[in-house]
Amino acid sequence: MKGGGSLYLDSHVHFWKLARGDYVWLKPENETLYRDFMPDDLASSLEEHEVEGVIVVQAAATVIESEFLLELAQEYDFIRGVVGWLDPCSELFTDTLNRLRQHPLLVGIRINGSSFHLGGQIQQTRFAENLRHLADSGFPADWLIQPADMPYVLDLLERLPHFRAVINHLGSPPASEQFYEPWKKSMTYLSRYPNIVCKLSGMITQFRDVPFLLLQQYVDFLFKAFGSDRLMFGSDWPVALQAGSYGEVTVLFERLLPPALTESERVAVHKENARRFYGLNP
């Protein structure tokens, strides 16, 4: 890395290989994303922008993809951890989690917000049991949640206040509207749980068609609610390529940081918070 040290630990990237066949959300009409994105495609950008390593987050809702990402992590030193996927309503959740956790680079499981309010008593019972197991074990989760999911998430936290989770992409605020009070209220409640943190990720894509000052308003609020010790940098590469390059992601991120941050606070948001949350070695 340039300058003898690293600047970032990227807490949110994806890799995929289309031939694997389980990326159902990727469509040929998306010319930017409908191709393979593998570690070699990212390596030069990490070097250029002084990124010491990345956390790879699932992009397919299959256990097989989690195993694929863990295989990549064994091959590439800059992959510091993998956030995989498990069906949170499965009766096999605990057994599969225990098996995957035998791999030292599995650092989390991502849960989609729709899982919090699936219909059916059996599904809901298993979901509650599985998430209680996750919370009691102290193993972290990434939450990909929308504002509409917040009441269910808050209800879960009332029952499991010790749950360790990181909210992806600022909690997906509605960027097309002015400061959205329900999102603000929900994120305020979430911030009161000390084990809940938030990724400053996905911003260049979510906010590509809105004024910079609106995004600044969201980020300023999150710094007030969570503080500099519970926010972390994430590029959301390659999804971010729909709106800009890796370099443009970092430029936007730096512009959004409060100017009053101390150097130690900047280092925390750049890399130390992600390192601590995911339990990575320095």
Spans of all domains in the chain: 2-277
- 15, 56, 128, 141, 193 from 153: Cα distances, Å: 28, 24, 11, 13, 12
Q: What is the pLDDT of residue 181?
A: 84
pLDDT, one tens digit per residue, over 131-178 is 999 999 999 999 999 988 999 999 999 999 999 999 999 999 987 766
Query: pTM for this one?
Result: 0.95
- The reported pLDDT for the residue numbered 210 is 85
Task: Report which listed range, 122-131, 141-150, 193-202, 211-220, is most confident.
Answer: 193-202
For the chain, what percent of residues have pLDDT higher than 70? 95
Residue type at 201 in one-letter notation: S
Produce one character per residue of 268-277: b if its CB has 16 or more CB atoms within 10 Å, e if not: bbbbbbbbeb
Percent of the chain topping pLDDT 90: 85
Residue 179: pLDDT band with limits 50, 70, 90: low
What mean pLDDT comes out for the span 90-108? 97
The mean pLDDT of 7-34, rounded to a whole number, is: 97
User: What was the pLDDT predicted at 2?
Assistant: 43
Confirm if 142 and 110 have CB atoms less than 8 A apart. yes
Sheet with strand 51-57: strands edge to edge: 8-13, 51-57, 79-85, 106-112, 141-144, 165-167, 196-200, 231-233
pLDDT tens-digit series, residues 252-268: 999 999 999 999 999 99
Q: Indicate whether 3 pLDDT > 50.
A: no
What CATH number belongs to 2-277? 3.20.20.140
